[in-house]
Amino acid sequence: MFLNEASPTGRKGGYMKNELALRPYYAASVSGGKDSLYMLGLILNNLDKYPLDAVFHMELEIDYPFVKNVVARMKKLCSSSNIPFISIKPRQSFEELYAKRGFPSRKVRWCNSQYKKDAMRQFEEILKSKGLYSVCYIGFCADETKRFKYEIGKIQEGQRVIYPLAEEGIIESDILAWAKDNPIFEGFYKVNERQGCMYCPMLQYKEMAYQMIVYPEHAQRYWAMVLNEWREHGWNCLRGDKYTPDYIYERVKNYYVPKVREELGFYVK
């Protein structure tokens, strides 16, 4: 098992019964988006500054399909550096939770608390059983100051999160410029700035249009769920309350889809 192997930082994952204190286990949390891929490359080139025991990925069935290619690239990078790559799925699928809870909304985001974070909880449970606790590298950039849990440049012993991109002064626009023409992202960042899950209630209109163009089957499922909540229960799940889901759907289809097609530089039926 990965926690029993010697780590590249010289620590052992095994836990001696006479050791009372938990010990740190350095893990990079990667989603498969631009920031996490860029961060992983930075860490692997600076292991003396950012020790790394493993890379952790929450494997979600509602990730964009291109994420599989990004994860494959990450696994290859980790293998070259003898770093374990750990993928963990939530114990309940998105569809199982949807059947119980309905589509998530911007006010009730069970997709984050009960779905995505369950994979992280499993990871933490494994670490704790081995006498370890995680120190997570997270891909926040230097200009995302509202998201920071500590003052950049003042990493303390025992700290649970570290932001390597912010520590190196890398801002989000720098990574976005790099990602726009990187073929591994399949044009996603030509029109979108951030990448979340495909079935997110917080999608921007451009993201909705991108799905309709590039992943029409996923878009069809997305709108079937959203419009069902609206028509059957009168619930508006989407990020804004100003417009109804019916209106948003037509607006995206008739205005944003042609606009995004032009920005992408290709036509998809």
Q: Is there a domain that residue 62 lies in?
A: yes
pLDDT of residue 242: 78
Residue 86: is its pLDDT beyond 60? Answer: yes
Mark whether 152 and 121 lie in a shared domain: yes
Final residue belonging to a domain, choices 190, 218, 245: 190
Percent pLDDT > 90 in the chain is 71
Q: Which of 165, 190, 215 corresponds to the end of one domain?
A: 190
CA atoms within 13 Å, Cβ hemisphere of 223: 20
Q: 137 — phi, psi (to 5°)?
A: -85, 125
Lowest-confidence region among 36-45, 130-139, 190-199, 218-227: 190-199
Last residue of a domain, one of 163, 190, 217: 190
Domain residues for the domain of 169 are 2-190
Start-end of H helices in the chain: 34-44, 66-80, 94-101, 110, 117-129, 164-167, 172-180, 188-191, 205-214, 216-233, 245-251, 257-264
Pair (184, 217) in one structural domain: no
**How many separate domains does the chain show?**
2
State the average pLDDT for the chain: 88
Domain assignment of residue 101, yes or no: yes
Q: Are residues 257 and 160 in the same domain?
A: no
| Residues 147-175, mean pLDDT to the nearest whole number | 92
CB 9 within 8 A of CB 111: no
For 109-141, b/e burial (b = at least 16 CB within 10 A) is ebbeebbbebbbeebbebbeebbbebbbbbbbb
Q: Is the pLDDT of residue 88 over 70?
A: yes
Are 148 and 236 members of one domain? no
257 and 175 in a common domain: no
